[in-house]
Amino acid sequence: MKVAPHFVSFVLDVGGGDGCIVADMKIKVLFPLLFSTVLVLASGCVGTTDGHSTAGIPFVRDTYVDRFERPVAQIAAATRVVLNRNGKLLVDNSVNNTFEAKVNERKVWVKVSDVDGKVSQISVQVRGSFAGDLTEAHQLCEQIALQLMAGQGQ
Please list the alpha-helical segments (H only) found in 7-132.
20-42, 72-86
Rg (CA), the chain: 30
pLDDT in tens, 59-77: 778 899 999 999 999 999 9
CA separation for the pair 101, 110 (Å, rounded)? 8
Q: Can you name the residues that pair with 111 across neighbouring β-strands?
A: 98, 123
At 79, the pLDDT band (50, 70, 90 cuts) reads very high
Long-range CB contacts (within 8 A, 24+) of 38-42: none
Tens of pLDDT along 90-115? 999 989 899 999 999 999 999 999 99
> Are 136 and 83 a contacting pair, CB within 8 Å?
no
Domains along the sequence of the chain with CATH: 44-152 (3.30.530.20)
Stretch 24-50: mean pLDDT: 73
**Could you tell me which residues are beta bridge partners of residue 67?**
121
92 near 74, Cβ under 8 Å? no
State the pTM of this model: 0.69
Q: Are 110 and 122 in contact (CB under 8 A)?
A: yes
